[in-house]
């Protein structure tokens, strides 16, 4: 793996001799957000692709309908909306 790939970000660091050097570190992922409101999702880890695939499935997202896609409030609204449509 090369450190020149776009999965690493480049940071200027001052080293003890007083000069500057470019250090590389893995990029941090953004927090998962609700598809409707854009608010942060709770119960979903903040991880990138390969890190997320190593996490066990039950810890990747909440075990409910639309878990990991919609916030709990929007899920409740969606379920009541669907229930009313079926009547």
Q: What pLDDT was estimated at residue 22?
A: 92
Q: What is the pTM of this model?
A: 0.67
Work out the number of other CB atoms within 10 angstroms of the CB of residue 11.
Answer: 10
**pLDDT tens readout for residues 20-36:** 999 999 888 899 999 99
- Would you say 10 and 24 are in contact if contact means Cβ atoms under 8 Å apart? yes
User: Per residue in 33-60, pLDDT tens?
Assistant: 999 999 999 989 998 888 889 999 889 8
The pLDDT assigned to 1 comes to 59
């Amino acid at each position: 793996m090369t450190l020149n790939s776009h999965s690493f970000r480049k940071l200027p660091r001052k080293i003890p001799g007083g000069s500057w050097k470019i250090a590389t570190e893995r990029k941090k992922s953004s927090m998962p957000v609700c598809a409707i409101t854009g608010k942060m999702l709770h119960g979903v880890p903040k991880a990138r692709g390969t890190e997320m695939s190593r996490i066990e499935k039950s810890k990747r997202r909440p075990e409910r309908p639309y878990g990991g896609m919609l916030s709990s409030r929007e899920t409740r609204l969606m379920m009541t909306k669907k229930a009313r449509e079926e009547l």
